Amino acid sequence: MNVAAMSLSVPLGSPLQEPLIDSRFTVPGIRCAGCIGKIERGLAAVPGIASARVNFSAKRVAVSHARTLDADEILEELRKLGFEAERAADKPLAPDDAETKRLMRALAVAGFGMMNIMLFSVSVWSGADLVTREMFHWLSALIAIPVIAYSGRPFFASALMALRYRRTNMDVPISIGVLLATGMSLYETVTGGEHAYFDGAVMLLFFLLAGRALDAMMRGRARSGIAALLGRMGRGAQVVQDGGAARYVEAERLAPGMVMLVAAGEALAADGEIVEGRTSIDASMLTGESEARPAQSGDIVHAGMINLGNPVRVRITAAAQDTAIADIARLMDEAGQSRSRYVRVADRAARLYAPAVHTLAFLSFCGWMLAGAGVYHALTIATAVLIITCPCALGLAVPAAQVVAAGALMKRGLLIKDGSALERLAEADEVLLDKTGTLTLGEPRPANLKALGPRWRAIALGLAQASRHPLSRGLARALREDGTEPASIEGISETAGTGMSGRIDGVDVALLRPEAETAGLAVDLLVGGFRTRIAFADPLRPDVRETLAALNAQGLRAAIASGDRVEAVGVVARDLGLFAAAGMTPADKLALLERRAAMGRKVLMVGDGLNDGPALAGAHVSIAPGGASDVSQQAADAVFVGAALMPVALAVRVGRATMRVVRQNFAVAVVYNVLAVPLAIAGFVTPLVAALAMSGSSLLVVGNSLRLARAAEACGGKGAV
């Protein structure tokens, strides 16, 4: 490993005197125990790093290091170890995480209460009577009341909120049922009655909390994965001061008139005009154009573009809220609002369910009153109806299936943000694909590696891995995937705008920009006196054809919508046999989606660039690749990592399988109600029957959902990776 280039004041091995700071990085490539060992040992050996701890589940590394070492240098070290990494958000606990933890605590308390109360209930059911029964009822009440007060809060709060806005949701019948059952049971206990429903009420809370916790966990897991992938855009720039020195200024603080220094490989943080230097600019994030275009003094460049060539000076003309990117963000905001009108399956079910349950309970109360039973008896039966119809199975039906499906998809490299995305994926009947970065890899890869001998490859990797230039990174990645081990090269130095040079076994080696202008992107590899040209292209993802065939087999017709030039798009479209629209602006793409939506089509949008942002937010459902811009990943419903496109087809398939299981689960819940409700109305439901029916139907639903893991596994096996 080459750390000679770094000058650090901290001597190796000596205890660090200065205070340590913690940084977090996401490393999607952690796959095995070997990776954990390699990263932890490798990083710990770097001067300035006190310790590194890998979180395998979250694919994250927490590094405790000296202040002198900055995040970029650690990223660099990770890259040398062979892992692509990104900075993770500094706040480890997002609000979602806190919610999951709260639900888990409520679940644990409900579980504790349920088990202990069941202990007493079983004794009562098996014949304890008189003083023993009374004592057991009192003990149950003593446990149940604090447990319900603690674990029931999520439901009570949500029901109150709904009632305040004069609406009803699933939580209203739940809350009424639980509170009524507790009140009735307390009355029974005080008067020395026979039937107490404490076990039923607490068990109900336990099963429902299990559903909620599953739902929250799924959202939390995907979020942490996505937060990890963020962070590619220009977050700031080196601004030239009066004295000529440069100072780092964050993107929000940049103002028109400042002159920023943009190094090779850096993303621009503001719109501006080039005042000094010639370079080539990669605008693919912003416009979808695949080929870098030359830029020189007087040319206008925009935030989000990447400088591929030489360092340039740019006078800022628009910053922060006035940039071209900010316009796209506004467009996205408006497009995203249509999405929020989508009603989830569970809520649609609740709309029918809640009034039906209330009516049923009320009618049984009236019926028994008319039949001449006392208020107390009629109320007992109404409570039994509420308890038995409470949507245990229904509350688990959707989240259980979705969590299992999301877990299976995550193993295949697709992160789903929430359950509603799976529901919408199942409905998609058309696919619109962006070209650059979606159908293609979106980064330059060497086109003619095969022409190089093994020694040359090792030298090329040794040189390329020490640079952050996009061409070097593409070259290094391709060589690593090829199984090349880097040659150790002495005295590596990087000259901005020219390339890398060093020595190996007394021979000068270098990776240089071609002196003459070339048609496409290329670098020259020099070993001794020999020179080889490595040309770069942006290749299609390896499994594009299989993916399109798989989508087609599922009845989804694909088309291309790209911001790139007609010629570039035409080549790909003819190659793949797809309809294509080229030269589209972000607003064009959004308009196209709205036209298709007006025709009743449900479009799945797959795109990566900033220019796809509004379309991703406005589409019925959307997926972005892991290499996409922050904005696109935020806007999309799901993110897939890796070079394969197959996760897109897999997502649709698993989405449909999930909805099938959800429907089966609903059927189970309905059958259960059809059987149990007449019993309850007739007054045959004792606490024992309620407990058996409730747990039975819940277990059936959870068991049915678990089948999904096997189904997703089976159909994913031949697809991804």
Partner 1 sequence: MTILGFLIPLALAMGLAGLYFFFWASRTGQFEDLDGAANRILIDEDGEG
Identity of the residue numbered 199: D
Dihedral pair phi/psi, residue 453, rounded to 5°? -80, 165
Strand 507-512 and strand 522-527: the pairing is antiparallel
Given the complex with partner 1, which of 105 and 565 has the nearer CB atom?
105
Q: Does 101 bind partner 1 (CB under 8 A)?
A: yes
Identify the residue among 2, 55, 68, 310 touching partner 1 (CB under 8 A).
55
Nearer to partner 1, 149 or 363 (CB): 149
| Token output for 317 | 């003309």
Q: Does 34 bind partner 1 (CB under 8 A)?
A: yes
From 7-15, 110-118, 378-386, 434-442, span contacting partner 1 (CB under 8 A): 110-118
CA distance 206 to 211: 9
| Cα distance between residue 288 and residue 290, in whole Å | 6
The residue (of 35 and 646) whose beta carbon lies closer to partner 1 is 35
**Which of 17-25, 31-39, 604-612, 639-647 is the region at the interface with partner 1 (rule: CB under 8 A)?**
31-39
Shortest CB 107 distance to partner 1, Å: 10
Applying CB under 8 A, which of residues 10, 49, 78, 109 lies at the interface with partner 1?
109
Shortest distance (Å) from residue 115 CB to partner 1: 7
Q: How many CB atoms lie within 10 A of CB 93?
A: 8
Residue 2 CB, nearest approach to partner 1 (Å): 18
306 vs 406, which CB is nearer to partner 1? 406
Position 108 contacts partner 1 (CB under 8 A): yes
Q: Does 104 bind partner 1 (CB under 8 A)?
A: yes
Do residues 508 and 498 touch, judged by C-beta distance below 8 A?
no
Nearer to partner 1, 35 or 386 (CB): 35
Spatial separation of the C-alpha atoms in residues 113 and 115, rounded to whole Å: 6
Q: Residue 491 to residues 378, 448, 486: CA-CA distances in angstroms?
A: 90, 28, 15
Q: Is 372 in the site for partner 1 (CB under 8 A)?
A: no
Contact range with partner 1 by CB under 8 A, out of 106-114, 279-287, 535-543, 544-552: 106-114
Whichever of 134 and 524 has its CB closer to partner 1, that residue is 134
Task: Return the ∠ at Cα 574 (arms to 568 and 579), rounded to 5°.
Answer: 95
CB 284 within 8 A of CB 308: no
Of 1, 51, 56, 678, the one binding partner 1 (CB under 8 A) is 56
Which tokens is 115 given?
Answer: 């088990």
Cα 167 to Cα 209, 351, 355, 389: the distances in Å are 22, 10, 11, 20
Dist. CA 181–CA 152, nearest whole Å: 13
Number of residues that bind partner 1 (CB under 8 A): 24
In whole angstroms, how close is the CB of 308 to partner 1 at the nearest point? Answer: 36
Contact yes or no for 277/301 (Cβ under 8 A): no
Rounded least distance, CB 227 to partner 1, Å: 15
Q: How far is the CB of 459 from partner 1 (least distance, A)?
A: 23
Residue 89 or residue 715: which is nearer to partner 1 going by CB? 89
Stretch in the footprint of partner 1 (CB under 8 A) among 35-43, 450-458, 507-515, 691-699: 35-43
> What does residue 280 show for φ and ψ, rounded to 5 degrees?
-120, 145
Q: Which is nearer to partner 1, 139 or 715 (CB)?
A: 139
Tokens 């045959």 belong to: 684
Give the interface segment with partner 1, choosing from 27-35, 347-355, 385-393, 662-670 (CB under 8 A): 27-35
When the beta carbons of 88 and 180 are compared against partner 1, the nearer one is 88
> Phi/psi of residue 16, each to 5°?
-75, 130
> Does 54 participate in binding partner 1 (rule CB under 8 A)?
yes
Phi-psi region of 69 (alpha: psi -120 to 50; beta: other; left: phi over 0): beta
Question: What mask, x for binding partner 1 by CB under 8 A, covers residues 232 to 271?
Answer: ----------------------------------------
Stretch of 29-37, 249-257, 338-346, 446-454 contacting partner 1, by CB under 8 A? 29-37
Give least dist CB 639 to partner 1, A.
20
| Cβ proximity of 390 and 204 under 8 Å | yes
Q: Which is nearer to partner 1, 116 or 465 (CB)?
A: 116
3-state DSSP helix/strand/coil percent for the chain, to nearest 5?
Answer: 55, 15, 30
434 is catalytic: yes
- Sign of the torsion angle spanned by Cα atoms 77, 82, 83, 86: positive
Sheet of strand 60-66: strand arrangement: 49-55, 60-66, 20-26, 86-87
Beta strands 312-318 and 621-625 are unpaired
Residues between 130 and 169 that touch partner 1 (CB under 8 A): 132, 139, 143
Least distance to partner 1, CB of residue 35, Å: 8
Min dist CB 577 to partner 1, Å, is 42
**Two tokens, residue 685:** 């439901």
Shortest CB 125 distance to partner 1, Å: 17
Pairwise CA distance, residues 314 & 275, whole Å: 6
Nearer to partner 1, 8 or 410 (CB): 410
Rounded distance between C-alpha atoms, residue 566 and residue 584, angstroms: 10
CB nearer partner 1, residue 107 or residue 677:
107
Minimum distance from residue 209 beta carbon to partner 1 (Å): 14
Instruction: Write out 576-609 in H/E/C secondary structure.
Output: HCCEEECCCCHHHHHHHHHHHHHCCCCEEEECCC
- Residue 238 to residue 298: CA distance in whole angstroms: 20
Q: Are 448 and 575 in contact (CB under 8 A)?
A: no
Instruction: Identify the active-site residue in 215, 282, 434, 637.
Output: 434
* Residues 19/67, Cβ–Cβ less than 8 Å: yes
Residue 178 near residue 89, CB atoms below 8 Å: no
Q: Residue 214: which of 100, 94, 344 has the closest Cα?
A: 100
For the record, the structure tokens of 575 come out as: 């190659």
Handedness of CA 92, 95, 156, 673 (dihedral sign): negative
- Binding segment for partner 1 (CB under 8 A), chosen from 34-42, 417-425, 460-468, 655-663, is 34-42
For the CA atoms of the chain, what is the radius of gyration?
A: 31
Interacting residues with partner 1 between 111 and 130 (CB under 8 A): 112, 115-116, 119
Smallest gap from residue 116 Cβ to partner 1 (A):
5
Segment lying near partner 1 (by CB under 8 A), choices 16-24, 109-117, 531-539, 549-557: 109-117
- Cα–Cα distances (Å) from 276 to 246, 269, 298, 310, 513, in that order, read 15, 17, 8, 10, 20
What span, in angstroms and rounded, lies between the C-alpha atoms of 542 and 278? 34
Q: State how far the Cα of 595 lies from the Cα of 601, in Å rounded to an integer.
A: 9
**Nearest approach, Cβ of 120 to partner 1 (angstroms)?**
8
Determine the interface stretch with partner 1 among 10-18, 37-45, 474-482, 573-581 (rule: CB under 8 A).
Answer: 37-45
- Output 56 or 579, the one with its CB closest to partner 1: 56
Length of the chain: 721
Q: Which residues are catalytic?
A: 434
Residues in contact with partner 1 by the rule CB under 8 A: 32-34, 36-38, 41, 54-58, 101, 104-105, 108-109, 112, 115-116, 119, 132, 139, 143
